[in-house]
Structure 1
Amino acid sequence: MSVAVNFKKIVSIESARKRKKGGSGGPPSPPMFGKGLTNESMRELTRRFSKPKTEEDYRNRAIFSILSKTGLRAKELVSLRFSNLVKAPTGETLITFTRKGGKLGFSVLPEESLQAVREYHGILNIKSDIFFLSRPKRNQSTRTPLTTRSLQRIIGAWDVTTCQGRKVHPHALRHTVGQRMLDKAGSIAAQKVLGHSSPVTTAKFYTKPFLDGSEYLDW
C-alpha cells in the first residue's frame, strides 16, 4: 500500500524577492538598515589601530583615519599625493584629487590624519609622493601605488561587518561618514564633506530609513 505524502514548498524571502523583481508589484522596499558601520564598530577599529607596531598597523591606521574623517571613495584615496596638499586661507589643510566623473575635488584633511600618513612613511623610511603603497613582495624592495582592489582586500581583512551584515568594504566607510554627518550636522554639511553636487543627493542616499521619534514626541 503506497501512501502519498505532500510536502509544502519552503521558499526563502530573498528568493521570492528575486523572482518578483521586474514584475508589476511596484518598486522594491528600501533596505531596513544602512550600508555603513555601527558606532560601536567604528570605535572598535579606532581602538585597534591606536597603537601600531607593524607596517601593516601603521598603514591601517592612516587609511582608517582618512576614510573615517573624509568619506573619500576608494579611487580617490589611492590617488592622494603630498604634492596635492593645499593650505586654505582660513588655516585648514586641503587635499585635491580627481572626483568621480573626472572633475577636480578637494577635501579637508585633519592634522591627525595627515600625521598618521607621515608616521606610516617615517617608520618605514618611505620616500614617495604617494600616500599609500603596497608592501614589498618576497626578495623585493620596490613598492607600487596601492590599487582599489588591494585597498578592498586590506579593509576586508579588518573583519567587521556593516549594519546589513556584509563584509566591510571601502565604500561602507563613506556611507558611515555620510550618515553620521547627516544625522549630526544636516544635509548641507554632509554634502560638503562627501563632495556631492546637491544636498538632495546626500539626503536621498544617506538618510536613515527609520527614526526614533520618542525623543521629540514627548506629549
Structure 2
Amino acid sequence: MRTAKILKFERLKKRLGKDSKSSPSDSTAFTKGLSKETMKGLMKRFSHPTTEEAYRNRALFFFMSTTGLQAKEIVGSKFRNLLEAPSGEILLRYIKRGGKLGYAVIHKDLLKTIREYHSKFQISSDHFFHTLIKRNQGIRNPLSKRGLQFIISGWNVKTCEGKKIHCHASSAYSGHTTLG
C-alpha cells in the first residue's frame, strides 16, 4: 500500500508597513485613466471639427467620456438599441460581459453630435461609428475594436501613468468623475 504525501498550504499575508511597495491609499483604477487637463485638451481639440475624421473623433470622444463603456460595447452601439426611459432619459441598451443586458444614459447633446456626424457625411447605418471611405471604395464599414484602438492611439496623449492612451482610459476617467 502506498501513502500519499500531504502538502500543507499556508496563507501568505502581505505586510503593509514601511517596507511595503504600495500603500493602501493607492488606487490604480484612477491612475489608469486620463487627467482633467488631458480631457480638457482633447475636448478643445475636437470642439471645431472640419473633416469627417474630426467629426467622428469628436463623437467618439464625447461618447466614450460620458458613457464609460468598454471597447466592444462602443463599436456595437446602434440606433435601434436606443430607448426612452419612463423618466424621459435616453438609454442605450447593450450587452455586457457575460451576456447580461446593460443600460447607459445617452445625453441629448451626445446624440445630437452623433446624428450631426451621420447627416454631414450621408451615413445611413444603424451603427454609431464607421470607418472612413477608402481610396477606391465608396463603402463604409462599422468600426471594429481594432479600428477603435488605432483611432484612439492616433490622438497621441498619455494616461496618468504615463502610458499611451487606450480604449478604456476615458471610461476610467468617467468612473472617477462619477465617484469623486
Question: How does the TM-score come out when normalised to structure 2?
Answer: 0.84
Matches for 1:126-165 after TM superposition, within 5 Å: 126-165=123-162
Equivalent-residue separation in structure 2 for 1:142 and 1:71 (angstroms):
29
Aligned to 1:46: 43
Aligned to 2:31, the other structure's residue is in SS state coil
The equivalent residue for 1:76 is: 73
TM superposition shift of 1:31: 6.7
Q: Distance in 2 between matches of 1:129 and 1:41?
A: 31
User: Out of 171, 177, 180, which is 1:180 matched to?
Assistant: 177
CA distance in 2, matches of 1:149, 1:178: 23
Q: Which residue type is aligned with residue 112 of structure 1?
A: D
Amino acid at match of 1:180: T
Larger mean Cα displacement after TM superposition, 25-34 or 122-131? 25-34
Instruction: Pick 1 or 2: higher relative contact order, CA cutoff 8 A, min separation 6.
Output: 2
Deviation, structure 1 residue 165: 0.2
| Aligned equivalents of 2:99, 2:146: Cα separation in 1 | 20
Whole-angstrom distance in 1 between the partners of 2:95 and 2:115: 22
Query: Equivalent of 2:83, from 59, 83, 86?
Result: 86
Q: Which amino acid aligns with 1:106?
A: Y
Alignment pair present for 1:114 and 2:89: no
Aligned residue among 72, 94, 118 for 1:97: 94
- Counterpart among 45, 50, 58 of residue 61 in structure 1: 58
Give 1:118 deviation, angstroms. 0.3
Cα offset, 1:26, TM superposition? 4.2
Matched residues in 2 for 1:25 and 1:157: separation?
Answer: 43
For the residues of structure 1 that align with 2:62 and 2:37, how far apart are their CA atoms? 16
Paired position in structure 2 for 1:196 = none
Q: Please identify, of 25-34 and 82-91, the stretch whose mean Cα deviation from structure 2 is larger.
A: 25-34
Q: Return the alpha-carbon distance in structure 1 between the equivalents of residues 174 and 38 of structure 2.
A: 13
Aligned counterparts of 1:92 and 1:162: Cα–Cα separation in 2: 31
Q: TM-score, normalised by structure 1?
A: 0.69
**Identity over aligned pairs, percent:** 47
Deviations 1:9-56 (A, max 9, x none): xxxxxxxxxxxxxxx894863677710111000011111101110000
Runs (4+) of structure 1 exceeding 3 A deviation are 24-33
RMSD: 1.7
More helix by share: 1
SS of alignment partner, residue 50 of structure 1: coil
Unaligned stretches of 5+ in structure 1?
1-23, 184-219
The 2-side partners of 1:120 and 1:108 are apart by 20
